Structure formats: structure tokens, C-alpha cells
Structure 1
Amino acid sequence: MTIYIDLIILSNFLLDYSLITYTGIIANEKIKFIRIFLATLFALSSLSLFFIQIQLIFIILRLLYSFIIILIAFSFVSLRKYIKNILLFYFVNYVMAGIITSYDFRFTSNAINIDLKQPTTWYLLIISFLIANILTYIYKVIEENHAFYKFNILDIRFRFLNKDYEVKGLIDTGNKTVSHGDNIPVIFIDKNIINTDIDEIYLLKNKVKFTYILMNTVKDSYITLAFKPENFGVVIDDQYFEKEVYLAIGQNIKNKDQSFQAILNSKILT
């Protein structure tokens, strides 16, 4: 019987990489390609275990390999999380690997049963490998977006004409607009938040302090109205901080998922 070592190594690499990646995705772990790759290389070395004839030693070493694979692939957070990942790794091995390949992971045999001559086997391995990478990419994009929103979108609260408003604001490092003279930061809010037309006459009638600020854009410069709310605060790390600001109506505060309705001045973080 001819044994194709290179094909065995390649098929195991594709499978191990896919299974470790699936484990990380299901376990909601932070996936790093370098750690997955190193864990896969270590998993490949477990092929040497199939030369061991003593069944008990084989089983013990297989378990130890699994423990180390998880340690390499994912950061250790807690013992509970670590054990959960190990159990999940075995679940993915026995359930999903049994679906996508003809591997036999039973502890009753020291043999790997895989028909490398069947094109279907390779199709499944390659498709699984590609899907694992695609899912990882999607997962990382979602995680990056989540991290972006977590650190760059804050809850803000303000009172204007005895009415309370609570919206989400995006920290914009490019927004350095301040009022002339007293250098009070200006926050731009969506025109739909305060459902009324705010102009100089309206503010004078309601005795609201206001000023005019010069706005410079790439295309042109213009003057816009900014007014003071009765109070304004931002929530940072579950703590509420009051800030002195001016509010201005933003004309181009657009985002697809409506995740924020205000453009914050980075100066309010100091």
C-alpha cells in the first residue's frame, strides 16, 4: 500500500486549521491568524502519536495535545473558559469533522481512516478551509466594528428648554470647533433630535445664550449658529461627566445604522 505523506500532512493541516478556527468562532474568542497557524502546526505533530501501540498512552497523549492546542490558539482568560474551549474543541472534532471528512477519531483505533483518492474528500477539506477563513474574516470585521463603537461612540445627555435628550455621539478627532473668545467646544447634533427650527429669533425669544461660529470645510467656509444647552454630560466608563459645550445643528450627520446622532468634540474627553 502506498502512503502519501505529503497528502496526509496537507489534509490534516486543512482539517485542523478549520476545526480550531470553528472552535474559536463558536466560543466567541478573539481570533489571531498567527496563533491559529501555530496551533495547527502543533496539531500536525500529533500524527506521530499514531505510531504508539499502547492504547492508554495514546489516549493520554491525545488529550495532552488537545490541551496544548487550545492554549496556543486562544489566550488564557480563566480556567472555566479554558475547559469550555477544550470541550467545544472536541465537540467540533467529533461532530463537524465527522460530517466534512471520513476521519475516524474513535479511541478504539489508532488509525486514521481517510480516503485520499476520493475527490469529494478534498473538496470538503478545501471548502471547509475556505469557509473557516471567510467566517474568521467576517468575525474579525464584526469584532473591529464592535470595538470601534465601544470606544468611539458615547452616550450623551443634555437638557434644552426644560426637555431632556439622550442620544449617542461619535468622537470625531477632526472636530476641533470651538466658540470664538471663550474656546468652548462645539457639539454637532442631528437636526431631527430637536424637532423644531432653531434660529436667532427662536433663541432670543426663549432667552437661550448663543453665538456664531466659523466653519471651515474642504470646499468652503460658512458661519453657523451655536447655542448653549441648560446642561450637557457624557457617559464614559459608566460614569457621568458634565461638560460646558455649545450645540450646533449638523446638516450631514449620516450613518447607515443610525448608531450615532451627534458629532462630539474630542476636547470633551479631557
Structure 2
Amino acid sequence: MAVYLDVIWLLNFCFDYLLLALTGILLKKSVKKRRLATGALVASFYVLFLFVPSLTFMTQPLMKLLYSVLIVYLTFGFTRFRSFFQCWLLFYFVTFMIGGGMMGAHYFFQQDMTVVNGAIATKSTGFGDPVSWTFVLIGFPLVWFFSKKRVENLETTRIHFDQLASVTIRIDEVSISAKGLIDSGNQLQDPLSGCPVMILDMTVHEANFSPAFIKKAKNITEFQEEGEGERWEHRLRIVPFRAVGQDHQFLCAVKPDEVMISLEGRSFIIKKVLVGLSFHSISGEKDYTCILHPKMLTGHKATAS
């Protein structure tokens, strides 16, 4: 059997480069291409150890461990032991994640059983199923891209949940409980009172308000006209705002008695705030049902909850 060592080496060099690049992306590190190429070059030399009898000792688990430390050091450098150790572990995680994805995809499309003369027969070579070069060349980039996107989505979800707080809005005897997202991009304020404005998803919490109040809140330009009285009518406010690509928009808001925010074992009670009423869903997955103004967590004394 002819073995094209140069082709195998080149393939491993490209794969090692992508694995190190993905590790750098997940670490949020800006790694120079020269260092990535150096690390990938050293990592690709491992192929030679499998074909040179005098270097077979490098295939021992301890030598593999030390060799991976060298690869990570050449690629990402060393600043602190903790950060280096995390980088080294993440490199192994990425390698196993991509390798496991490749093998999982291979066996997903592989058919190991056939029916011969009415009997079920299994196929096996004794050394595992061979993976074709075409499958590797196409599958590896796809698994690499898929893994990168999944990790980024998980990270985004974690960031969102790190910014979620328990919110209780009290208006007279009514108490509304919601999960709030702390949005640093929300800078909406009432121009008259200077109160920060949080946004409440009315598609979820509409049942806490009377039909007459909802009718007045939806018809912003008409809610001050004479008609059926509503006990919370005096709490209604109109807040002008700007959206991307839109000017001169208006948001109907209500003045609560207080808003209590519970976050990381602390509680904040805010009285100077307006609750904007959104009749469109603000979260497709309903992970949160209100958006908090960042100023609601500053300038207020926190108490242990």
C-alpha cells in the first residue's frame, strides 16, 4: 500500500491550523497568523512519529501530553499559569469536539447492517470503518463552522441569563412579577421628569390591566379624550422616543408605585420610574418579559434579599 506522507502531513497541518484558530476564537484572543502557523507546523510533525521507528516513543500518553503543552505554548504564549492551563484544556476540548462531531456524522450516515437471504448481517473490517478523504475534506470544515456557531450561541445565551433579574412592579394592590433583561442600550427617559423608562411586554402581562385601561393605552392620541373613566388613567404618560429608521414615535407608559429588582442576592427598590407598555413581544423565546433601564440599578441603595 502506497502512503503519500506529504499529503497526509499537509492535511494535518491545515486541520491543526483550524483547531488552533478555533481555540483562539473561543478564548477571545487575537493570535497572529504567524504564531498559528508555527503551532500548526509543530503539531503536524506528529504524523512523522507514526512512521519513524526511532520516534515511536512519542506516541506514549505522557509524551503526547507534553507535546500538546509545547503546541499551546508556541501558539498562545505564556503569561500566567491559570490562563495557560485554561487555554491548554480548551485546545483539548476543541479537538475532541471536532473529532467527536466527525465520527458522529460518519456513523450517522454509515449503514452497518444488510439483509442477506432474509437474515440480518453486519459489516466490520476489524479495525473500524474507514473514513474517506472526501468525507474528511467536506465534513471537517462543516463541523468546525457548526461547532463555532453553537459555542457562540451558548455564550450569548449565558450572557443574557447573567443579565436577567427578577422584577416586581406594584401599582396600588396589583403586583406584577416578571423576568427583566438589563439592557445597557436602553437609554429611554421621560423628557419632563427625567425618569428612566423600562419596557413591559403586554402580550404576557395584559391580564393585569383592565380592558378600559388597555383600550386607552393602545389609543395614545385619544386616551385624554372624555369617555369612560379608568382608575389608573391618571398614571398614564406619553413618552416620545426614536427608533432606528423612525422618528417622532410615542410610547404609552404607566407610573407605578414602585419597582423592586432582585439581582445576585441584592434588592433594589425604585420609585422614580415609568413602565413603558409594549403590545409587541420583546422576546421570541419569552426568556424575559421586560427590559430594564441600566440607571435603575445605579444611585439606589441595595439591600440583601
Normalised TM-score (structure 1): 0.64
What does residue range 167-182 of structure 1 map to in structure 2 within 5 Å? 167-173=178-184, 175-182=186-193
For 1:128 and 1:248, the matched residues in 2 are separated by: 49
Segments of 5+ residues of structure 2 without an aligned counterpart are 107-129, 217-222, 224-228, 299-305
1:261 matched to 2:272? The reply is no
Residue matched to 2:195: 184
Q: For 1:247, which of 275, 284, 289 is the aligned residue? A: 275
Q: For 1:231, which of 255, 258, 277 is the aligned residue? A: 258
Residue matched to 2:226: none
For 2:104 and 2:279, the matched residues in 1 are separated by: 56
Residue matched to 2:117: none
Asked if structure 2 preserves the Cα contact closer than 8 Å seen for 1:234 and 1:240, the reply is: yes
What does residue range 72-111 of structure 1 map to in structure 2 within 5 Å? none
Asked if structure 2 preserves the Cα contact closer than 8 Å seen for 1:209 and 1:228, the reply is: yes
Asked if structure 2 preserves the Cα contact closer than 8 Å seen for 1:21 and 1:132, the reply is: no
Shift of the alpha carbon at 1:38? 6.4
Asked if structure 2 preserves the Cα contact closer than 8 Å seen for 1:189 and 1:253, the reply is: no
What does residue range 10-49 of structure 1 map to in structure 2 within 5 Å? 10-13=10-13, 16=16, 30=26, 40-49=40-49
The 1:95–1:264 alpha-carbon spacing in structure 2 relative to 1, beyond 3 Å, is: closer
Residue matched to 1:133: 144
1:53 matched to 2:54? The reply is yes
What's the C-alpha RMSD, in Å, of the aligned pairs? 4.7
Asked if structure 2 preserves the Cα contact closer than 8 Å seen for 1:49 and 1:62, the reply is: no
For 1:40 and 1:253, the matched residues in 2 are separated by: 47
- Report the AA paired with residue 234 of structure 1: I
For 2:103 and 2:140, the matched residues in 1 are separated by: 12
Shift of the alpha carbon at 1:186? 1.6
The 1:92–1:209 alpha-carbon spacing in structure 2 relative to 1, beyond 3 Å, is: closer
Residue matched to 1:65: 67
SS in 2 for 1:202: coil
What does residue range 123-162 of structure 1 map to in structure 2 within 5 Å? 123-150=134-161, 152-162=163-173
Residue matched to 1:103: none
Asked if structure 2 preserves the Cα contact closer than 8 Å seen for 1:52 and 1:58, the reply is: no
Residue matched to 2:240: 214
- Report the AA paired with residue 250 of structure 1: S
Identical-pair percentage = 20
Segments of 5+ residues of structure 1 without an aligned counterpart are 101-118
Asked if structure 2 preserves the Cα contact closer than 8 Å seen for 1:253 and 1:263, the reply is: no
The 1:185–1:121 alpha-carbon spacing in structure 2 relative to 1, beyond 3 Å, is: same
Q: For 1:164, which of 175, 178, 196 is the aligned residue? A: 175
1:200-240 Cα offsets, whole Å, 9 max, x none, are 732357xx645443345554535554322232123444432
Q: Could you say which structure has the greater relative contact order, defined with CA pairs below 8 angstroms and 6 or more residues apart?
A: 1
SS in 1 for 2:259: strand
Shift of the alpha carbon at 1:126? 0.9
For 1:182 and 1:82, the matched residues in 2 are separated by: 54
Residue matched to 1:113: none
The answer to which of 149-158 and 184-193 deviates more is: 149-158
For 1:212 and 1:47, the matched residues in 2 are separated by: 70
Residue matched to 1:107: none
The 1:56–1:45 alpha-carbon spacing in structure 2 relative to 1, beyond 3 Å, is: closer
SS in 2 for 1:252: coil
For 1:220 and 1:36, the matched residues in 2 are separated by: 48
- Tell me the number of residue pairs that the alignment of Structure 1 and Structure 2 aligns: 245
